[in-house]
Amino acid sequence: MPVPGPGYSITIRVEAPPSASAAGDLTSAVGRVGGVITAFDVVESHADRVVVDITCNATSAEHANEITEALGELPGVAVRKVSDRTFLIHLGGKLEVHSKVALRNRDDLSRAYTPGVARVCQAIAANPEDARRLTIKRNTVAVVTDGSAVLGLGNIGPAAALPVMEGKAVLFKKFADVDAWPIVLDTQDTDEIIRTVELIAPAYAGINLEDIAAPRCFEIEARLREKLDIPVFHDDQHGTAIVVVAALRNALKVVGKSLDQCKIVVCGVGAAGSAIIRLLLHRKPADIVAVDINGIVHADRGDLDSNLEQIAANTNKDGMSGSLHDALVGADVFIGVSAPNLFGAEQVKTMAKDAVVFALANPDPEIDPIEAQQYAAVVATGRSDYPNQINNVLAFPGVFRGLLDAHARTITDDMLLAAADAIADVSNGERINASFIVPSVFDAAVAPAVAEAVRKAAQH
């Protein structure tokens, strides 16, 4: 059941009679249809009427309409205007360029631009490594998408993906002071994407691939890693894997189990699931059973692509076949990065004692977390309205900060594992419990800790 949140926040400007009961009538009308008021401002007052801005959270665009209609139906009340606050913060985009140097006079101009800049260009031409010292390359990351798998919205194309990429760039800046720039590509051809990124790479110290559909994303990342001398990181894969490995380490601490005794079911073997499995395998769990839309992944299934073949070769030691429900029997851990509402409490009951359930499909998880809690000892989701939110923001800003600080040319699984341990350690010690296995995304200690761990691993 979704709860009203700031993602659907509207400000409704209404004209109402100046009676003593007007404010109460307005707020009750919003409350009756389930809206949550966050601000009530009288913006004009006259002898015969007041004009009020009511800001409230809704659960959806339809719910926002319902709230507006409920206000409009009150006697003597007229709705003047409805502003969607989410759209308001997107007007003109969320990013702009600031100059770091002042241009006050001819002297400044001659150094920042011609003729002075020519000597800097020559220095870089003579020693290309100087680009990291003398240009924006030092601190700049490209956030690259083809718009083919944007959030849960699917293939909506490059222009429609831009708000997400801008948001990502804002997060990079806020959490790790990384200057990230959105690059949305008008192609979904693997070779064209690779060639384009290769061509723009000189200005960047890292490439963050974003919202590119599986299985294309695997090939694009692998080939770019071979071609480029800067780190290439597909956040939907590795950002998720890092935070899952961190959260799992702390969840197992809560239930007193060690990974080498755990059977883990990973449901969803796309971008996120494949990377989670690969990273978890480094930690040597007792077994991982992968499940996708066609059931348990095993070597004899006959429909496996090269990614699934590789997964099958490294998981499912007992050669199980069947459905997700079959896989869950006796499992210690469920990690879902697949689709909504795939199982219920009765299946959690079949898992091992003190089961851990990470139901991360967004926006609706594989199992309702309230239902999962009936039998699971620890439950996590991708949602901000439940405890234990598995959020990539915990990983990618610090990861890139560390890579940039180390002048890293590649990214390795050791660095990803170091990032995972750093996240787990931030929330460690006395603070860990079933409702707190990962730190808050606003915990200021996270990004520096991740950056430091990645920097050390990169320089190792």
Annotated binding site for a divalent metal cation: 210-211, 236
Closest to 71 measured CA to CA, from 22, 4, 3, 5? 22
- Out of 57, 59, 139, 338, the only residue in the binding site for ligand NAD (CB under 6 A) is 338
- Does the annotation count 204 as an active-site position? no
Contacting range for ligand NAD; rule: CB under 6 A; set: 126-134, 185-193, 334-342, 403-411: 334-342
Smallest gap from Cβ 295 to ligand NAD, in A, equals: 8
Among 35, 231, 270, 397, binds ligand NAD (CB under 6 A): 270
Is the Cβ of residue 262 or residue 394 nearer to ligand NAD in the bound state?
394
* Omega before residue 115 within 30° of 0, cis: yes
Query: How big is the site for ligand NAD, counted in residues (CB under 6 A)?
Result: 27
Smallest distance from ligand NAD to CB 425, Å: 19
CA distance 172 to 177: 6
Nearer to ligand NAD, 179 or 235 (CB): 235
Residues linked to residue 79 through DSSP beta bridges, in sequence order: 14
Q: How do 140-145 and 206-209 pair as beta strands?
A: parallel
Q: Which stretch binds ligand NAD (CB under 6 A): 95-103, 130-138, 155-163, 336-344?
A: 336-344
Q: Across the chain, how many H-helices and E-strands are there?
A: 18, 14
Query: Does residue 68 contact residue 11 with C-beta atoms inside 8 Å?
Result: no
Span interacting with ligand NAD, options 31-39, 103-111, 170-178, 264-272, rule CB under 6 A: 264-272
Of 220, 252, 269, 296, the one binding ligand NAD (CB under 6 A) is 269
Whether the Cβ atoms of residue 247 and residue 388 lie closer than 8 Å to each other: yes
- Does 390 bind ligand NAD (CB under 6 A)? Our answer is yes
Torsion angle, alpha carbons of 201, 203, 208, 209, to 10: -40
Closest CA to 235 of 335, 305, 145, 318: 145
Q: Which of 137, 168, 257, 263 is catalytic?
A: 168
Selected from 122, 362, 384, 433, the binder of ligand NAD by CB under 6 A is: 362
Among residues 206, 382, 398, 402, the one that binds ligand NAD under rule CB under 6 A:
382
CA atoms within 13 A on the CB side of 187: 10
- Which span (78-86, 99-107, 124-132, 261-269) binds ligand NAD, by CB under 6 A? 261-269
Instruction: Give the residue with the Cβ less far from ligand NAD, 360 or 419.
Output: 360
Which DSSP string corresponds to 363-394? SS-SS-HHHHTTTEEEEEES-TTSSSB--GGG
369 belongs to the binding site for ligand NAD (CB under 6 A): no
Residue closer to ligand NAD by CB (options 392, 427) is 392
Residue 227 known to be catalytic: no
Q: In the complex, what is the shortest distance from the CB of residue 117 to ligand NAD, in angstroms, rounded to a whole number?
A: 43
Site string for ligand NAD, 178-217 (x = CB under 6 A): ------------------------------------x---
Contact flag: residue 267 with ligand NAD (CB under 6 A): yes
User: How many whole angstroms separate alpha carbon 205 and alpha carbon 137?
Assistant: 5
Contact with ligand NAD (CB under 6 A) among 266, 272, 399, 423:
272
Burial of 58 (0-12, 13-18, 19+ CB in 10 A): buried
Residue 299 DSSP symbol:
T
Q: Could you tell me the CA-to-CA distances from 21 to 272, 306, 351 in Å, in that order?
A: 53, 68, 56
**How many CB atoms are located within 10 Å of the residue 1 CB?**
5
Residue 273 contacts ligand NAD per CB under 6 A: yes
- CA angle (45 as vertex; 42, 50 as ends), nearest 5: 70
- Positions touching ligand NAD (CB under 6 A) are 149, 152, 214, 236, 240, 267-273, 291-293, 324, 337-339, 342, 360-362, 382, 390-392
